Chains A and B, each alone.
Chain A
Amino acid sequence: MRTRAEANRQRWAILGVAAAVLVLSFVLLKSAYYQLVLTQVLLWAVLSLAWNILCGYSGYFSFGHAGFWGLGAYTVALGMMYFDLSPWISIPFCALVGAAAGAIIGYPTFRLRGHYFALAMLAYPLATLYVFQWLGYQELTLPMKREAPLLYMQFEDPRGYVVLALGLLVVALLISLKVENSRFGMSLMAIKQNEPAAEAAGINTWRWKMLALMLSGALAAVAGGLYAVILLVVTPETVFGMLVSAQALILALFGGVGSLWGPVIGAVVLVPLAEGLNAELGDVLPGIQGVVYGVAIIAIILLAPEGVYWRVLDRFSKRAPAAEPPSQMPARATNIAPLPRAPVSTGADLLVLRDIGISFGGLRALDGIDLTLPEGGLYGIIGPNGAGKTTLFNVINGFLASDSGAITFAGEAITGLRPNQVCRRGVGRTFQVVRAFPRMSVLENVIVGAFIRAPTDAVARDMALAALDRVGLADQAEKIAGGLTTRELRLMELARALVPHPRLMLLDETLAGLGHDDLGGILGVIRQLRADGITVLIIEHTMHAMVQLVDHFTVLDHGRLIATGRPQDVVRDSRVIEAYLGKKWSDRVAVPAK
């Protein structure tokens, strides 16, 4: 998330670019041809920005933005042909069409991830292409309006189109900027870097992804509508074809995915390059232009794999995190501030599991688990590898749906809720392998967790700072998460789970992989959680640490709950010893006990 000053700088940059385009168009470029190419640069930049809103920020790649572009183009063309609708009306209407298409496409498609999502998106424009062919719209022309050309967006002067396309580009840039600087963009970036972590941190990933696709579709459709007005001929192949989707993707990849200026850079360089090659080589050695264009793209991608924008940024600013911590945040590694919260009535049952069972194929991962956690304690779950501990957590926080049983949290049934909904009800969790957002700063990582409680982004920031302070990471706030040590990552994840003030914390092997010196600090933080009245359920292998830490032990083995009770009793239970060490050891322990 950018600071306000940075956002302002970006706004000035957008205005500057707009002014430069106007100067270029009205003062420098005399020929209608260059005006046409300039218009195309602007329009393709808008499409690529639209693509970037979904794909650049959330990481969900779409090979199918031609779908939106084409729907926009056909909306304008059909509106004008059959309803005499002026593009002044139909182009804004394209936004609705695009958003609706986004919603319809997103609903089934967001069940998929990664390459599967990208490929499914590819199918939509290709299928739509055939639908429009079948409908008999193989070749539409926008009628020339001789009486009232301006009323139908038909300008004698090509600069009219430059101004329109520029206006659209400015709008697209401002929308992108707004997205980047809000919880919308932060949530998308969190989804991109680690979707389960984002979901567990309370982000409604489904909603943000849908919104991104709808916004992206709306922008792409509006650009497609304007494209129809400029080209005046609409055929399914030109607007739904692979080339359009590829163009959106290539421009952004070339310029820099996930950046505000990347798509613009891509369009400014590649569109005139392609056209220049067509002009210079098309009539001399037809076909060679495609080869040169391809080679140019390959060369630049090799030199700047993340795109030109990021490459240049790296060169000039090193993109290093701010080395000095902000001065207003004194480092207080040991002094843990109390959590502001209402006093809890300890003793009432906070989490109740009844008969939880889940199978993966033939494997019974959890079987008839009954567990009751009264509020306010520190509970441990132990068990050998594969006992079902993490699976149990995944069932509680909604990553997995159990085959049977019911979960009640604070008197409310939470069975079958999505992770973000469980999080909203006050269940925080950390992961066995830390799920950080590695390219975001520590502070941003924690801010993501604060959104569910923070009414504004500023409040989220303050809450995140406070949480970092509590775990003793305040001095690392500006560091990029990718560069943290294991201990710092664990603490950061704790802070992220802590920031919305949960009632129950699920800690999955938080102590794993830590040295003896690091252990102390984290144990302190965990004890402090209990002191603040947060109920803690912790999974751990390290029996030694657990015995020191928890009030109450539950032991799982092969998906069954085999023992529960006070730590000192449980470690003597022969079934527990057998589970951990084998029958031989349990016998040996049992004999002296007699």
Chain B
Amino acid sequence: MQNSPTRRSVTAGLALGAVSLPALRVGTASAQAKSVKIAMIAPLSGPWARQGQLLRQGADMAVEEFNSQGGIKSLGGAKLEIIYADAGDNTEKAKNAAQRLLSDHPDLVGGSGAWLSSFTLAVTEVTERAQLPWLTLSYSDAITNRGFKFVFQTSPTAEWQAAETLPTALKLAEHATGKRPKTIGVIQDNTASPVSFGKHLREGGGLEKVGLKATVDQIFTPPLSDATPLVDKLRSAKPDFLLLLTSAMPDCKLVLEKLDEFKLAKGKMPLVGNGAPFGSPELLNTIGPELLEGMLFSVANWPLKGQEEFIERFKKRTGEPFATQDALCGYGDVAILKEALEAAGAADKLKVAEAIRQMNLTTGPAAQFFPGPIKFDEKGRRQDVPMIFAQWQKGVPLTVFPEDRALAKPFWPSV
């Protein structure tokens, strides 16, 4: 997995040496007299460091911008202060990070992050007991199935996404070509999120409901060593489109390259994926725009109409080619906490939590960063959220659905 920023900072750190470390710490921890503390836990090291960094970039940007705009007005212009903790590469480290944050900063009023579902599950066990309102972009249904009162899931859950992805994709296909696809090929790995997605399709009747027949249905264990047997099946069965559910980039690359080799790529066999990794800059760097052209993917959050200014600011600030789900949610979560603080009028975690529960935002910075209104149900899930679809068009993954917030028109690659 790509995490060059991390590697670079490691090298930089070694060069700087231990002497400068305390100085760096003082820099981040410089508390202001009147500030409100929020937290973010994200994998800043390990295999998911890249995603964690993006989340952090978004949050950093939000805190800076809100503070420069005058802080929390209902608290007399109090500034936001965000404390980061590294969730590392395993659940134990993530949980420790949460426990440490709460012990070191009992005055936290809210937090966000954890990224990987299993990290979020562990982190929220801690934050729930401390009654700290916690926002997360993780998809797993289990996060909001435990009867917790202080966890708020800003992304639509995995099951819901599984239920919505195919009908929406079919709608797009029908709209573009006038024909409704009849057959589908499914290729997926057996990691947590593709498995729950696939389970919905097969056991949950997800395929039958939309009248699709799976002519290829293959599950593999990553890492994939050779995609030939999988793609060979596609070549002979020729499904109307391919649902690709991979979680690791090398596997995705192998499949796409093999598709190209078998003359099935570049729109010959339309591709649909699920999840933010399908729109990552790394995918573009390793696979290139040609093979990606036309690939559709459903995702919890993606740059929307109305965020054009933000996207420009973000690109300028970070040097990233485009904004993705992680940076958007990092920014958006801070925005939700800020709105909640404004509404609560007090730096009090219980009041902030209550403000989030009462929230119903359709305008303002928070609403701008998510599709649909910011409104949570009893479980802590957002209500009335549309499924977002993005499509690779000329080397950029652009939101194409829902239409009212799309940045481009979708096309259905035709044979």
Contact = CB atoms under 8 A, between A and B. Distances in A.
Most buried by B among A31, A141, A285: A285
Contacts of B45: 282, 286-287, 289-290
B162 to A, nearest CB: 14
Most buried by B among A130, A156, A278: A278
A130 B6 CA distance: 29
A32 B45 CA distance: 24
A232 B10 contact: no
A459 interface: no
A33 B104 contact: yes
B99 A233 contact: no
A284 B28 CA distance: 8
A282 B10 CA distance: 11
A457 to B, nearest CB: 41
B400 interface: no
Interface string A290-301: 110000000000
A144 B146 contact: yes
Interface in A279-331: 279-291
Nearest to B10: A287
B13 interface: yes
Nearest to A138: B192
Taking residues whose C-beta sits less than 8 angstroms from the other chain, chain B's interface range is 35 or more
B14 interface: yes
B218 interface: no
Contact of A232 (B53, B100, B125): B125
Nearest to A292: B18
A216 to B, nearest CB: 22
Contact of B96 (A37, A133, A143, A156): A37
A284 B195 contact: no
A244 to B, nearest CB: 9
A139 B102 contact: no
A33 B21 contact: no
A275 interface: yes
A33 B90 contact: no
Interface stretch (A94-102, A179-187, A235-243): A235-243
Interface stretch (B80-88, B272-280, B324-332, B391-399): B80-88
B301 interface: no
B63 interface: no
Taking residues whose C-beta sits less than 8 angstroms from the other chain, chain A's interface range is 35 or more
A283 B88 CA distance: 10
Interface stretch (B116-124, B314-322, B341-349, B402-410): B116-124
A32 B199 contact: no
A282 B118 contact: no
A285 B12 contact: yes
B122 A232 contact: yes
B221 A133 contact: yes
A515 to B, nearest CB: 60
Contacts of B44: 282-283, 286-287
Nearest to A289: B45
A133 B86 CA distance: 26
Contacts of A33: 96, 99-100, 102-104
A286 B9 contact: yes
Interface in B132-150: 140, 142, 146-148
A336 interface: no
A291 B122 CA distance: 25
Contacts of B122: 231-233
A231 B196 CA distance: 22
Contact of A231 (B95, B104, B129): B95
Contacts of B85: 279, 282-283
B97 interface: yes
A36 B190 contact: no
B86 A283 contact: yes
Given A33-B96, A287-B49, A288-B10, A138 B191 contact: yes
A288 B13 contact: yes
Contacts of B103: 31-34
A82 interface: no
Contacts of A284: 21, 24-25, 28
A139 B49 contact: no
Nearest to A37: B96
B215 interface: no
B6 A287 contact: yes
B21 A279 contact: no
A267 to B, nearest CB: 14
Contacts of A83: none
Contact of B147 (A31, A144, A280): A144
Interface string B140-165: 10100011100000000000000000
Contacts of B196: 138
Interface in B31-75: 44-46, 49, 52-53
B228 interface: no
A136 B88 CA distance: 24
Contacts of B268: none
B93 interface: yes
Nearest to B198: A136
Contacts of A32: 99, 102-103
Given A133-B221, A139-B121, A284-B25, A231 B10 contact: no
A286 B102 contact: no
Contacts of B104: 31, 33
Nearest to B189: A133
A130 to B, nearest CB: 6
17 contacts: A139-B140, A144-B128, A232-B121, A233-B118, A237-B90, A238-B91, A281-B13, A282-B86, A283-B83, A283-B84, A283-B85, A284-B24, A285-B13, A286-B44, A286-B49, A287-B46, A288-B9
The 3 tightest CB contacts between A and B, nearest first, are A282-B86, A286-B44, A138-B192
Given A37-B96, A231-B95, 7 more contacts: A32-B103, A144-B147, A241-B90, A279-B96, A286-B49, A286-B53, A289-B45
Interface of B: 6-7, 9-10, 12-14, 21, 24-25, 28, 44-46, 49, 52-53, 83-86, 88, 90-93, 95-97, 99-100, 102-104, 117-118, 121-122, 125, 128-129, 140, 142, 146-148, 190-192, 195-196, 199, 221
